Amino acid sequence: MQDSMKVCTGNFGKNAQSMEAYKKLGGYSTISSKLFEMSQFEVIDYVQRSGLRGRGGAGFPTGLKWSFVPRNSGKPVYIVVNADEGEAGTYKDHFLILEDPHRLIEGLIIAAWALGARTAYIYARGEFLPCIEALNKALNEAYAAHLLGENIGGTKFSFDIFVHRGAGAYICGEETALINSLEGQKGQPRLKPPFPAVAGAWACPTCVNNVETIMSLPWIFSHPVSEYTKMGTPKARGTKVFCVSGDVVRPGLYEAPLGTPLMEMLTSEEYAQGVVGNLKGVIPGGSSCPPLTSCESETATLDYECMAALKTMFGSGAIIVFNDSHNAVDILSVLGHFYSHESCGQCTPCREGTGFAKRVLDEIMRGEGHDGDIELLQGISAGFAGTTICPLSLSLGMPINSYTAKYRGDFEAYIAKNPDHAEPRLRSTVRPGAFW
Amino acid sequence: MTIEVDGKNIEVPGDTNLLEALKAVGIETPHICYHPYLPVSGNCRQCLVELEGPRGKSLVISCYTPVTPGMKVSTPKSSARVKNARAAVSEFMLLNHPLDCPICDKAGECSLQENYVEAGRSESRLFPEVGKQYHGNPDNQFVDTKGQIRGGKRVDIGPRVVLDEERCVQCDRCVRFMRHVAGDEQLQLASRGDRTYITTFPGKKLDHEYDLCVTDLCPTGALTGKFFRFQQRVWMLSRTPSISMDDSLGANIWIEHNNGFIWRLMPRCNPEVNRSWLSNTSRLAFENFSKNRLPAGNLPELKKAVMGEGEIAFVLGGASTNEDAAALKTLTSKLGDRAQVFVGSFAKMETADGIAKSGDPVANRAGFALFGFTASVEDLVKKASEFTTLVVLHADLWGEDASKANALEVIKNRISISAFNDATAEKSAVVFGVNHWSEVSGSMVNSNSMLQKLSAAPTAPDAELSPLFKVLFALAGEDVKCAACAFKKAHEMVPILSKFSFDSIHSTGEKLDGVAV
């Protein structure tokens, strides 16, 4: 791939952590009078024309999201960068910040100009200590160079960035839970409306963007918009950073245009260089996404629309590959443990249901499954659909449905390990001798 | 406004949420965490309905959905999706909830039981191996005789409230009550997922004047009041609507009684007065209602003592009803210039707490004012020497503040007509027992000029006792048999009351217009 195609990862491996090095590589070129001569609307319009979509998972058009932020509310506008990367299989933000912290700062200055924001918070996952150190170092350099603080570049524009360390909760990646956590409250998703764009952090208009989204901005603004729209598909422009892990020859972080065929990502020399063993399935966008079977993987392309058509999600671009040495029950059981541990405990279906599903999966794993357990799991999952504030319950519900449908044989084989699997389970209420 | 429910156009009240609007037209929506006087939290997910939006039908919680004209709503009646979703939520709700209803104090008035009948599934899918798992605070867990790990069953979280961690369904009503109504955040949900549990802050206890309200709010038997634990099954209790006569806000209450005993006082919802709240002082007062009571006295003897020679000072205590005041008015007009009426008590006046107390211990002060009784006991202290007879009605002057009351000892002929054999009765030469306010029907006017009705609970310790107004009318030589008759007598004395008959007073009170308080 050409160097120019690397929107976010262009500086990887070039020791760009210091300001000096970053500037030498062309950094901060967008923070000039050219940007400050553009009006807020022109900046937002530019982003809209670029077709940039949010890289956190939902893929919402970034320019459109920014246009929802009210201008004349009389309240400050906050930008919050979601660096609470917790989805199993996703590790892009970690390396993006670690390798190139100044690009995030540059992107934030552009976003702040577009939104009229005075303050931005980078909500970083607590475990990202090296990232936070790199980021703080970069922030100090940027303040020293008057790229942050009062009157940036001699204009009237002032802007501050603060780094906030999360305390370790997957749910704080959900934007309203993140805002609650940022405010010092328990990290639980809020009821919507109001949406954060209207009343987010401290009830002020707040724009929550993913690290990768913000880090795409410097490249987009330093190139003609057509350069960016040239890449990707008509509905999903540009490039995406993919985190490939699992049974591949060279797992790692690869930036590729949207619409790249999945098999090219898995087998091409530039990328993962091939699957180890016989491909059984691919999780295309992080642990909460339904997997693609090897057959579906053949035709899949890496963009939002194709994944939606295959009834899965593009998500955060975390591609997890597993071969036939792995069992779907094992994988789903890991997910059950993860999501029941990470449920915030607010909504009843998620709080109780994820634990219920986990316990059923544990039973099957122990070789004590019964006929009908698959239907029981699917029944639990049916109770998640549309009944909760945030989609965390569905993050387990969708895999339950898809794994049991696509790899039903694995589940049946596990259940068959129980010699009494055909016997009905004994109800606790009619257990003989329990009470009399 | 008109909305479409299950394909039918229905007129519902606007300016509210969907749950309340549907309730107003008789469509009940099961709910756990929603409470009309608490901010919406939206975590139980029990009140789901289907709403048609721009992107098709979706499930929404009706407690957080404002009513908008023309909105299209589906309830379980027309939508299998809603029915299934509610059944699923109901199942999840009970998943880790113990089935100990037979020993649970909340059984009979438990939201989970009520909702399960309507929205649950009939068949259990819970099996011993994968079913219940109790968590709660790890410090309170124990292993039961069957070897199962259990959550704390009787966690002492405060002087008046006990927590059962297994029964908690994390609706956070109690947390919201303490935060938003009591204004003193003492409870919090700790941990996350199905390990979530209610707790107080480290080293702190739940201790607040309104902390027993959390036991009413708790939809399950997780939070129970120590005073009521294991005392009665709630379905054995009968309830009588009345007014708490220890404060001039006149909190609306249910007197809950069985076998002639009061077992608890519960707040009775009145949006204009105390909403759903009741202070601990008012709630726990019932424990003394049947203790230390005076027996019914000898009426001719009383008449002789009251009507004797000289000037008579009547002290009308705050718990007296309008009917008592009307009877006193009749009596004093018979006595002419010889009698003067003083209102009140020596108890300290406190400030209103904005929840369910005005702070004035003279409950019916506004009612007395309607009858022209405005002079206070403090005025009586100033001119005590002018009187030869002191008649104390429903007041314990010596019990409230003996240092002030001692000034009244210059009045040699002291009579107490009261429910209790209290310090004032001890200081009196003649005592006469009457019914307590919980045992009488009557009316009172609260500090917001609401005319409110008390009903008699059948809990009088002695059938010989009669209400104060009957005794006073008898002293005046009249035979008035019932509260309604006494109220009719009051019509002539207080014209504003003539708009109402006793029976027509609404259970949530009547606003008296044009009465300055």
User: What is the tens place of the pLDDT at every residue in A338-383?
Assistant: 999 999 999 999 999 999 999 999 999 999 999 999 999 999 999 9
Q: Is residue B276 part of a domain?
A: no
pLDDT in tens, A189-217: 999 999 999 999 999 999 999 999 999 99
Q: How many CB atoms lie within 10 A of CB A100?
A: 27
Q: Which residues on chain B are in Cβ contact (under 8 Å) with A385?
A: 59, 85
**A107 and A162 co-located in one domain:** yes
Residue B79, domain CATH: 3.10.20.740
Cis peptide before A193 (omega within 30 of 0): yes
Residue A239, domain CATH: 3.10.20.600
Q: Which residues on chain A are in Cβ contact (under 8 Å) with B132?
A: 428
**Cβ–Cβ below 8 Å for B194 and A345:** yes
**B89 and B176 co-located in one domain:** no
Q: Is residue A312 part of a domain?
A: yes
Residue at a domain's end among A197, A214, A230: A230
Torsion angle (degrees, nearest 10) of CA B384, B389, B393, B398: 50
Confidence band for A434, pLDDT divided at 50, 70 and 90: very low
Residue at a domain's end among A188, A215, A230: A230
**B73 and B134 co-located in one domain:** no
**B161 and B84 co-located in one domain:** no
CB B213 within 8 A of CB B175: no
Task: Choose, out of A338, A387, A430, the residue to mutate when testing the contact with B (most B CBs < 10 Å).
Answer: A387
**A123 and A7 co-located in one domain:** yes
**Cβ–Cβ below 8 Å for B92 and A356:** yes
pLDDT in tens, B166-184: 999 999 999 999 999 999 9
Among the partner-chain residues A344, A356, A387, the one whose CB lies closest to the CB of B130 is: A356
Q: Which residues of B touch A (CB under 8 A)?
A: 32, 40, 42-46, 48, 58-59, 64, 84-85, 88-89, 91-93, 95-96, 99, 124-133, 146, 169-170, 189, 191-196
Distance from CA of A71 to the nearest CA of B (A): 26
Q: Which residues on chain B are in Cβ contact (under 8 Å) with A428?
A: 126-128, 131-132
Distance from CA of A341 to the nearest CA of B (A): 6
**A261 and A144 co-located in one domain:** no
**Cβ–Cβ below 8 Å for B128 and A426:** yes
Alpha helices by DSSP H, listed for B211-286, are 213-217, 280-284
What residues have CB less than 8 Å from B311, skipping those under 6 apart?
B338, B339, B340, B386, B387, B388, B389
pLDDT score at A151:
92
DSSP B151-178: --SSEE-SSSEEE-GGG-----HHHHII
Q: Which residues on chain A are in Cβ contact (under 8 Å) with B136?
A: none
CB B434 within 8 A of CB B311: no
Q: Which residues on chain A are in Cβ contact (under 8 Å) with B34?
A: none
Cα–Cα distance for residue pair B140/B157, rounded to 1 Å: 12
Q: Which residues on chain A are in Cβ contact (under 8 Å) with B93?
A: 348, 352
**B25 and B155 co-located in one domain:** no
**B386 and B466 co-located in one domain:** yes
Q: Which residues on chain B are in Cβ contact (under 8 Å) with A347?
A: 43-45
Distance from CA of A205 to the nearest CA of B (A): 21
**A177 and A212 co-located in one domain:** yes
Percent of chain A past pLDDT 70, that is, above it, reads 97
What does the block give as tokens for A159?
């802007």
Task: Choose, out of B82, B127, B169, B175, the residue to mutate when testing the contact with A (most A CBs < 10 Å).
Answer: B127
The identity of residue B98, as a single letter, is P
**B427 and B496 co-located in one domain:** yes
Task: Choose, out of B49, B57, B92, B175, the residue to mutate when testing the contact with A (most A CBs < 10 Å).
Answer: B92
**Cβ–Cβ below 8 Å for B59 and A386:** yes
Counted across chains A and B, CB pairs separated by less than 8 A come out at 118
Q: Given a cut of 90, is residue B237 above it in pLDDT?
A: yes
pLDDT score at B234:
95
pLDDT score at A57:
86
Classify residue A263 by burial, with Cβ atoms within 10 Å: 0-12, 13-18, 19+: middle
Residue at a domain's end among A204, A230, A256: A230
Confidence band for A424, pLDDT divided at 50, 70 and 90: confident
Residue B428, domain CATH: 3.40.50.740
Q: Which residues on chain B are in Cβ contact (under 8 Å) with A431?
A: 128
Q: Which residues on chain B are in Cβ contact (under 8 Å) with A341?
A: 193
Q: Is residue B123 part of a domain?
A: no
CB A89 within 8 A of CB A287: yes
Residue B169, domain CATH: 3.30.70.20
**A80 and A100 co-located in one domain:** yes
Q: Which residues on chain A are in Cβ contact (under 8 Å) with B189?
A: 186, 345
Q: Which residues of A touch B (CB under 8 A)?
A: 169, 171, 186, 191, 340-349, 351-356, 359-360, 362-363, 368, 376, 379, 382-389, 425-429, 431, 434
Q: Is residue A434 part of a domain?
A: no
Cα–Cα distance for residue pair B50/B61, rounded to 1 Å: 9
Torsion angle (degrees, nearest 10) of CA A96, A97, A103, A106: 140
**Cβ–Cβ below 8 Å for B193 and A353:** no
What residues have CB less than 8 Å from A50, skipping those under 6 apart?
A63, A220, A225, A228, A229, A237, A238
Q: What is the pTM of this model?
A: 0.93
What residues have CB less than 8 Å from A30, skipping those under 6 apart?
A106, A110, A217, A218, A221, A222
Q: How many CB atoms lie within 10 A of CB A248?
A: 23
Among the partner-chain residues A341, A353, A427, the one whose CB lies closest to the CB of B92 is: A353
- Interface predicted TM-score (ipTM): 0.91
**A81 and A154 co-located in one domain:** yes
Q: Given a cut of 70, is residue A4 above it in pLDDT?
A: no
Q: Is residue B400 part of a domain?
A: yes
Nearest residue in chain B measured CA to CA from A377: B125
- What is the count of structural domains for chain A? 3
Structural domain boundaries enclosing B145 = 128-232
Task: Choose, out of B116, B148, B191, B194, the residue to mutate when testing the contact with A (most A CBs < 10 Å).
Answer: B194
- What is the count of structural domains for chain B? 3
pLDDT score at B131:
67
Residue at a domain's end among B49, B80, B95: B95
Distance from CA of A349 to the nearest CA of B (A): 6
Q: Is residue B245 part of a domain?
A: no
Q: Given a cut of 70, is residue B516 above it in pLDDT?
A: no
Cα–Cα distance for residue pair A319/A240, rounded to 1 Å: 12
Nearest residue in chain A measured CA to CA from B95: A352
Percent of chain B past pLDDT 70, that is, above it, reads 98
Q: How many CB atoms lie within 10 A of CB A154?
A: 9
Residue B260 has, within 13 A of its CA and on its CB side, a CA count of 5
Cα–Cα distance for residue pair B391/B383, rounded to 1 Å: 15
pLDDT in tens, A36-92: 999 999 999 999 999 999 998 889 999 999 999 998 899 999 999 999 999 999 999
Only one residue has tokens 């902390």, namely: B211
Q: Is residue A8 part of a domain?
A: yes
**B157 and B86 co-located in one domain:** no
**A340 and A390 co-located in one domain:** yes
Q: Is residue B426 part of a domain?
A: yes
Nearest residue in chain B measured CA to CA from A379: B88
**B342 and B477 co-located in one domain:** yes
Only one residue has tokens 């009596």, namely: B331
pLDDT score at B129:
67
pLDDT score at B517:
54
Nearest residue in chain A measured CA to CA from B43: A347
**A39 and A149 co-located in one domain:** yes
Only one residue has tokens 């966008």, namely: A285
Distance from CA of B10 to the nearest CA of A (A): 26
Distances (CA, A) of B394 to A100, B42, B281, B322, B332: 82, 47, 18, 13, 17
Residue A25, domain CATH: 3.40.50.11540
CB A294 within 8 A of CB A280: yes
Q: Given a cut of 50, is residue A121 above it in pLDDT?
A: yes
Confidence band for B219, pLDDT divided at 50, 70 and 90: very high
Nearest residue in chain B measured CA to CA from A385: B85
* Closest to B412 in 3D by CA, of B484, B517, B310, B302: B310
Residue at a domain's end among B95, B120, B138: B95
Q: Is residue A421 part of a domain?
A: no
CB A341 within 8 A of CB B193: yes
pLDDT score at B147:
82
pLDDT in tens, B120-157: 776 777 776 676 788 789 999 999 888 888 899 999 99
What does the block give as tokens for A328?
């779907």
